[in-house]
Amino acid sequence: MSRLVSERTFLAGKIFFNFGQSSIDCVVRRLTEEAATLEMESGLGVPERFQLRLVGREILPCRVIWRSDRQVGVAFEQPGSEHAAGEERERSSDALMRSQMLALRAALDHVPTGIVLLDSSLRARLINRSFRQMWRLPDQVADSNPSILTLLHHGRDTGAYEVPDPELDALVADRVRTIEAGDPTPIDLRRTNGDVVRVQVTPLPDGGRMLTYTPVTDIVRASDELKLLRDALENVQDGVLLLDSDLHAAFMNRRMRRFWEVSEDEAAARPAYSSLVRRLHRASAPNLPNNELAKFPARRVEEVKAGDHVRDLQTPDGRRIRAHCTTMSNGGRMLTYVDITDLTQKAAMLETLATTDPLTGLFNRRHFLETLEAEWSRFQRYYRSVSVLMLDIDHFKSVNDRYGHAVGDAAIKAVAAACLDGKRKSDIVGRLGGEEFAILLPETSLTRARTVAERIRKRVMSTQVLAEQVQFGLTVSIGIAEATASMSGIDALMGAADHALYQAKAEGRNRCIGWAPSPPADKAAE
């Protein structure tokens, strides 16, 4: 066979077999004196032995030594040799090495990772197809044994790096130093098209280097998104705690670490949730008795194990925390802690405003009647006694007319204080409006209600009001009524107490009068 000049790629050829009856077009990608790499649409139809015709060259007998989906590696046979006659002879160690090298080159061309093999002078002796495609490196450059500096300058000159122009040369110089040093630390390069490539250097025994370029765009983006999410959770105003399926803390943001008084190192050690809830009783059920505090952590852990729920907690300093527990798809739990102290305080304030008389601090008319309605229901269900007192300040109009409304307000407050001081613990006092008051006495008969009424009347009579440099005394008239089965509801009960109040005023004021039902008509006539 005539001596062939070594060439690299893109020689047109044709494969002949079946005594010249069949042929396949191919491209010779690599050609040496002993072997070649052929590329065609499919390597499956190529027989083990065939003849190769190259444009402008003699026909070469070939034998397949390796094959892939679209490539075959062949060795050239001498005409008339034992191989040409169909008899296999032992290949030389040199031919075997060359064939293995061709197989390795073909395999490296099919991996998705970009690979560059450098010799000891850092010149490329192999650049696979993935690297060429990744960096749009022309074959004529890749096949010219370029230096690593040439390859890096190609990336720089094509604008492939996501680095400002003034910093490009410094980047190239730093990469050369890293490769020369054989530093195996992976480096992520961000490209201007948004892709991320992980580059790693591996020193070779002959003093060369193997560079691998692995696409990691999806991994890095997921990592970036995770970091963004963690940063967001770290800085939210609410506490966030992520527990794994064993209820160990997988993540604890700054607010939650501060709440549990846990350092970053302690949080990184993934403490058990049970150990957190036992920290100095940081939070417990609202208004929990002291003798129940020790049992609460175990109950709280069981609540979290049970899954989704909302629970209000209270800290030793009186803050109110609302904890939301959500079951995660991995079997873990997400706990969020929201400080609702201001909300609960505002809610309590609004409730106070809605139920309380602003001048006296007593319940207002609406709330008093709602309470009386509830007590009336118990009276109807269990037939337990319930009584009502109606109070009115005697000659209150003359106080207002003579001294003014400021003094009148002082008189109203004085009577309210006497009512609170004279009532029993279970009694409810309300201001119905103006100078009129009412007291609800649960489970109280008319006789016992009269005792309470007299005590309050005497306390008012002994009170001296001092306001606007004026001092004077007060008296009240009180009507008393006990609920009866014949009454239709609270309006009838209140009406009975009011009727008794007017009777007390008619009889001279400063007295207590109990209501009595009217006698039957026939007895009234007698």
Report H helices in 236-340.
254-260, 264-268, 273-277, 296-306
Q: What is the pLDDT of residue 258?
A: 86
Please check whether residue 199 is in contact with residue 189, taking contact to mean a CB–CB distance below 8 angstroms: yes
pLDDT averaged per 10 residues, the chain (length 526): 50 86 87 87 85 84 87 83 51 54 70 89 90 89 90 86 83 89 88 86 90 83 67 75 91 86 89 85 77 85 91 84 89 88 72 82 92 92 92 92 89 94 94 94 95 96 88 94 93 95 95 86 53
Say how far apart CA 309 and CA 333 lie, in whole Å.
11
- E-strand ranges in 306-360 read 309-314, 320-327, 333-339
User: What is the reported pLDDT for 489?
Assistant: 93
Q: What is the pLDDT of residue 110?
A: 77
Q: Which tokens belong to 504?
A: 């007390």
Computed over its alpha carbons, how large is the radius of gyration of the chain? 49
> What residue ranges define each of the domains in the chain, with the CATH number in brackets?
11-76 (2.40.10.430), 103-219 (3.30.450.20), 236-343 (3.30.450.20), 356-514 (3.30.70.270)
For the beta carbon of residue 429, count every other beta carbon within 10 angstroms. 22
The 10s digit of each residue's pLDDT in 336-388 is: 888 877 776 676 677 767 788 989 999 999 999 999 999 999 999 888 899 99
Angle (CA) 87 93 98, round 5°: 95
| CA-based nearest residue to 335, from 344, 345, 325 | 325
> How many whole angstroms from its chain centre is CA 260?
18
Neighbours of 320 (CB within 10 A): 18
Note the pLDDT of residue 454: 96
Q: In angstroms, how far is CA 485 from the centroid of its own chain?
A: 59
Q: Are 33 and 72 in contact (CB under 8 A)?
A: no
Q: Phi and psi (nearest 5°) for 275?
A: -75, -30
- At position 399, the amino acid (one-letter code) is V
Residue 362's H or E segment, with its range, is: none
The CA-based angle 203-223-242, given to 5 degrees, is 130
Place of tokens 């008296």: 475
| 382: helix, strand or coil | helix
The pLDDT assigned to 289 comes to 81
DSSP letters for 203-250 = E-TTS-EEEEEEE-HHHHHHHHHHHHHHHHHHHSSSEEEEE-TTSBEE
